[in-house]
Amino acid sequence: MDAGLTALLGAAVGSLATLGSAMVAGRAAARSQFGQWRRQHRRDAYANYLCALYDRDVALDAVRDALRVDRPDLRDVDEKMEHFVAQARGVHRAAELVILEGPTSVVEALYGVVHASDGLAEVVRRMVRDARAEDTSAKAADTALAAEQEHLLYQAVKHLRVAASDVLGDSGTR
């Protein structure tokens, strides 16, 4: 083989190797960028849900505070309940995005939060009904039950944070 042909073949092989290398590197970069994009969308969905949940919990605490007095102002309680319901709708909207973004481990943890949250909200709704009926017979028991449900909700939210951190690779955020 003459030197010119050898050089030409060498250049062709080198070009193909460089092209192949560039394609592999490009695909790896695209996968990395997609992974970062996906992580950011998940982080945003999880953060929005937790913020909406916090706002809803503040609204629920306001209802509970209004019910603590012996004779609650029912107009005030009703206004606070309306605000709570509006905040709860925001939580449901934010939950839908978490469900879409997944993965299953986070969605299962989210359902734990939903279950605990529903338990607490049900107790508070019953307390509001009793306040309207001026029935104080279950107030002490329901107040204790609400505290218990609030603790369960706290534990469920903590579990959700851990699941989200695991998915996002943020082990230092626990």
Reduced to 3 states (helix: H, G, I; strand: E, B; else coil), residue 31 is helix
Map out the domains of the chain with their CATH numbers.
Answer: 40-173 (1.20.1420)
d(CA 78, CA 83): 9
Cα 155 to Cα 160: distance, rounded to the nearest angstrom: 9
Residue 12 has pLDDT above 60, yes or no: yes
| 110-121 pLDDT, tens digit each | 999 999 999 999
pLDDT tens-digit series, residues 14-68: 777 776 776 666 676 656 676 787 899 999 999 999 999 999 999 999 999 999 9
Its pTM stands at 0.79
Tell me the C-alpha distance between 53 and 113, whole Å. Answer: 9
pLDDT of amino acid 168: 94
Please count the other Cβ atoms lying within 10 Å of the Cβ belonging to residue 31.
Answer: 10
